[in-house]
Structure 1
Amino acid sequence: MLEQLRGRLVTPESPDWEQVRSGWNLSVDQRPAAVVEAAGPGDVEQVVRYARTHGLQVSAQAGGHGATHALDDTIVVRTDALDELSVDVPARSARVGAGVRWGSLQGALDGTGLTGLPGSSASVSVVGYCLNGGFSWFSRPYGSGAGSLRAVELVDAAGDRRWVDDASDPDLMWALRGGGGNFGVVTAAEVELHPAPAITGGRLMFPIEQAAAVLTAYGKATQEAPESVTLWAYLVHYPQSPALPEAVRGKSFCMVDVITPDGELDGVLATVRSAGTVLSEVIRPLQPSEVADLNSVPTPPQALSLITSAFQEVTPELIGTLLSYAGEPSLIFQVAIRHLRSGGVGGRPGAAAADPVAPYMVLAVSIVPSPELQQAAEDQLRALQEGLLPWRTGYMPPSGLSAWNTLRDCYSEADLTRLREIKRRVDPDDTFVGNFRLP
């Protein structure tokens, strides 16, 4: 049956299997049963029908992001070639294929006065990001990526392709906004766009020795900032890599990034600037295409691990804990504090499974140069996560999960029960597997 594919079926017997089966995150040795590089939505339909007939499971993955062992023994459908992209400026919406990355969508918005809700990487697929929650530079004024989903083109458990929106199936839309790929394969989506008449943003860099004062000032600035302004703070330890500029190579910094869609930054940064010695400040107008690259997340495949934790306030005790675990160079490359919108995705409480429940999150990342350091890096991250437990508040959407976490770390038991009920209705044979399975 799969011989009719327009795309390519890759199996363990294929010469390039080792390369194709890998995800973007090289720390996860995902081992699917096969990979289908879909040429179009029709290939996805064929794969789902084949899997259902043969008692197999299907997972979707665009560029390889979201690698976990939940995808082991499944047929992984790579959706990179589903690259449809159209923008309707008057309707403030875009239709994107499942392979479209944030860099492409944002590039199509230059000059429109609109923006999507990208996160910290232009290489992540729009669809995968939104299905898993999505923390955006514009989460404060406009909510997270999940809330921007207006409708999806879904290949369902029967292998049929159909459009789903809040009018046709509000419960399924609720589940798709954060429940990941557990309910079908999304081949395209309509996402909401938002006003961005004058995007302005950039970065301030301080010596790492002044981090306590800068993070304290950052916490105060986030309380003073209008909702249109987003501030993220970092502790960063750059490695001794010849690929890095000499100005940062082997050095550590405390940094604060700022962005707004409307250009109003007057007074917002005064508190942060006065906290220490500003080594570098670059604040400038930005095109939508430049937003996702604001904090320079690396795009080549990496061996990466991360942890997240949600909390209510930037306190001296929290700052002290972060510095005790990550104030000196170690296997933890970066610790970020992100200020998020609280009280409902996209301003619509209850519209998404991935509703944020806290105004801040900590995100810590390790990028290891060699496999033998992987376990030590994970141990350091887990220790930091445990150290943050006294301040933890609520849950994190799946886009903030570590590869070793489960959806129990994301949702209350009531929400998990609702997700399971929707799963049983739309996928009774458990054909679909997201990068985090429903427990």
Structure 2
Amino acid sequence: MHNTNFVTTPFGRRSMTLGMLANQYDASDIEPGKSIDKWKLFRALCEARTVFGVSDRALAVLNALLSFYPENTLSQENGLVIFPSNAQLSLRAHGIAPATLRRHLAALVNAGLLIRKDSPNGKRYARRDRKGEIDEAFGFSLAALVARADEIFAHAARIAADRDRLRITKERLSICRRDIAKLIEIALDEQAPDDWLMIQSTFQSIAGTIPRTPHISDLTAVLEELEMLRGEVLIRLERRLETQKQSAKESQTERHIQNTNLKNIFESEPCAGTNSAPDLTKEPVSSQCQREENLSHPTARTADTPQSALSEPEQLTGTTVQASRSAPLKSFPLGLVIQACPDVVSYGSSGKVESWRDLMTAAIVIRSMLAISPSVYQEACDVMGPENAATVMACMLQRAEHIKSAGGYLRHLTRRAHCGEFAIGPMLMALARSRGLLERHAG
């Protein structure tokens, strides 16, 4: 038979509940030799008091109770019942009123942290043997605290970890907000191209969703959005810096390039005399430069190439790829890009690409997915333009399974575009033909 001598019921009109009975059963299963530092346990309980539903005043009463335990270590060998009177408890609890004291003692019992062991007349006292040792005591048993010590420490550790996470997240959020605000301020002061007022409005709307008393999950969601926005702002500002660097390089080499072109002109088409008016019947200077350059680069197409030798996209546009050296890349309608590269739609905002801004946003996601470094993509944007670079990313996504190194391939296309040897039209038309779009339009 199970030993039931540990079961005790309250005195007088106090009611007995199944919860109290369960606490007594749990307290009877304390491991032999288990001992707990009472003040470490009390500090852990203060940390986890919201889990157990006890107030700070109730903890003050428990602190006074623990002060009556003669040892610093709670163990069954030393006995776990304390029996101070309400008057003594009130003094050690900083003069708490008797009615308030009884209410908080009842709260500790209901929370399963104390067990009443009442005497026949409800008084708290201890009966001693002939040697002066305590034979039996009536009062409050601390066995429930010892039995639930592991649970209390676990809750305290979790709450402390959550508090640290909240603190760190708040710090990261503050730094991220500061970075975005100052970066936008720089862009507005420098009058950098882009809709910075819209970006500032987006930043303010995201920051405005932070609640007054935030939970860790609320801050984590806001932090993710702000970090994405900070990344977008940095990409745009890096693009501005790269453009300035490129302009500085071009200004340094401009005189050299002009002298080289003039030398080629004089070598290929010497003038009949000096200070004479230009002959409009002769070939324009730009055509002379083009022919001379084609002669020095045998692999490039010349203006004399038969029309039938041109690819189908070049016949449609009526220009050669080499002609783009003196002009920016030709952009194509967004609708044609979406028709030729339908896979890009899945990477747009909310699964839609309805504007060039949506396409450029999707291109950033595709860049990360294809493991293309930000610097390589930024260089493509500087050379081709943001819209054309996003179009190239959509084409690369459509043919991703045939590209071994996406970063190297984009770097190669950027170099060709910089030299005027690349056009987007053939790439789009090839994808359109592969999907049968041109045949449907022709039919």
TM-score by length of 2: 0.19
Q: Pick 1 or 2: higher relative contact order, CA cutoff 8 A, min separation 6.
A: 1
Q: Rg larger in 1 or in 2?
A: 2
TM-score by length of 1: 0.19
